Structure 1
Amino acid sequence: MKGKFKVLLAAGLVLILVLGGSIGAYFWYNYTHYMSTDNVQLVADFIKVTPLASGKLLEFNVKEGDSVVKDQILGIIDAGADSGAASNIRAPISGVVASKTALVGEYESSASSPTLALIMDPRKIYLLANIDETKISKVKIGQVVDISIDQFKGKKFTGKVSSISQASNNAFSILPAQTSGTFTKVVERVQIKIRINNPDTKLLPGTNAIVKIHIK
């Protein structure tokens, strides 16, 4: 009976060592080959729709969510009350109307470049990830990235690191640097841009994601 117990005990110890070694190897491999962060947001470049002439807005025929093509006429401005001239308002790019603030009947001054609407290209949505300054040296342009987007549970996306900021986020802050004697050192973050290889046109800018960068 004692011999059987010793055999079972030895087998249990071996199993624990194997499992522990496997878990350790798994975490070591992931630590050395990947870098993960959930400090990530989807971003789109919003292009402003502005009038080329001043005058009363006579028409604006698109709404949020509408698809438009470059140079499509979106609205018309009465550019001269006396002459009756009209100026067309055209789409600066092809894409989707993300927001609309234009109100028919309002006077719009081209000198102040009023934003009548914002258009984005849903095929060019990208990710901005914030990486700790202590880890940024491991990130290189061109590295493969595995992407999980909160909006699409269970669906996997891939991408590549396309650019790395040349300064920390704090360097662009409008607040002055802390100069008092109570300075507290914090880990700064550096922003990187990730291009999505297989974007979905239903992706929503401003939503969250998790990325795993292949650093090896």
Structure 2
Amino acid sequence: MEQSKKAKLKKVFSKKTLYSIIIVLVILAGSVGYYFYSKSINYFTTDNAKVTAKMYPITPVTSGKILEWNVSAGDLVKKDEVLGRQEVLPYITSPIDGTVVKSDAIKNQTVAATNQLAVVADTANMYIGVNVEETDIMKIKVGQQTEVEIDAYPGKTFKGKVTDIDDTTQTYFSASATSLTTSGTYTKVTQLIPIKITIDNNEKLPMTLGMNAVVSIKLR
């Protein structure tokens, strides 16, 4: 008899434990589901985002031979620092304090006024460049708060905000903006509109141009 009572109590206890576990799992699943539903309603999230900066192309003022070129990619330069010298208009200078991210000039090379000699990036003011599909762009407003995760810093979230929305699509000034096939048929392509997100990097963590990021923009 005593063993039968113990067996019954054990069975009742096991059922209660099982029910408790099921209830906890249901609550947990509901909470997770609500979290993702709430996030989908209140946030716009995309991984089409990278660390970038404003770029300044360096071109000669006029055609002529390059007599001297003093910088390479990766060099830090100051505003008005001499980058090189031409035979006609002597000095080619940097428009900003920044980093030379591209250098194509070669000493004794003859260049036209349209040739790009180098690119200087404003690396002191790097930001997150995000490409938003035109079908979503009306959700985005300057001043919206953001959360940014950068692949180089897993587990860390950077707070920020939307500071600029471009007036043109990414391909507006390029040949790829044309969507006509060889037969003359128009093919609609969803366009991307660049936006700028400035983040708080209070720890001064090093950033490299082109680092991948995931951005969540708070809509409400």
Instruction: Identify which of 206, 209, 213 aligns with 1:209.
Output: 213
Check if 1:33 corresponds to 2:42: yes
Distance 2:160 2:207 in 1: 14
Q: Secondary structure at the match of 2:165?
A: strand
Instruction: Identify which of 76, 80, 103 aligns with 2:85.
Output: 76
Checking the alignment, whether the CA contact within 8 Å between 2:179 and 2:187 is kept in structure 1 is no
1:3–1:185 distance in 2 versus 1, CA, 3 Å: farther
Counting only pairs closer than 5 Å after superposition, residues 45-124 of structure 1 correspond to structure 2 as: 45-79=54-88, 87-109=90-112, 112-124=113-125
Unaligned runs of 5+ in 1: 80-85
1:26–1:76 distance in 2 versus 1, CA, 3 Å: same
1:175–1:123 distance in 2 versus 1, CA, 3 Å: same
1:23–1:154 distance in 2 versus 1, CA, 3 Å: closer
- Structure with higher Rg: it is 2
State the partner residue of 1:128. 129
| Count of matched residue pairs | 206
Distance 1:187 1:58 in 2: 46
Question: Could you state the TM-score of these two structures normalised by the residue count of structure 1?
Answer: 0.77
Cα RMSD for the two superposed structures: 3.2
Q: Identity, % of aligned pairs?
A: 36
Distance 1:99 1:185 in 2: 34
CA offset digits 1:96-148 (Å, max 9, x no partner)? 11111111112234xx3322211111022222323345543332211111112
Letter in 1 for 2:107: V
State the partner residue of 2:139. 138
Letter in 2 for 1:144: Q
Question: Could you state the TM-score of these two structures normalised by the residue count of structure 2?
Answer: 0.75
Distance 2:188 2:168 in 1: 17
Letter in 2 for 1:207: M
Unaligned runs of 5+ in 2: 1-7
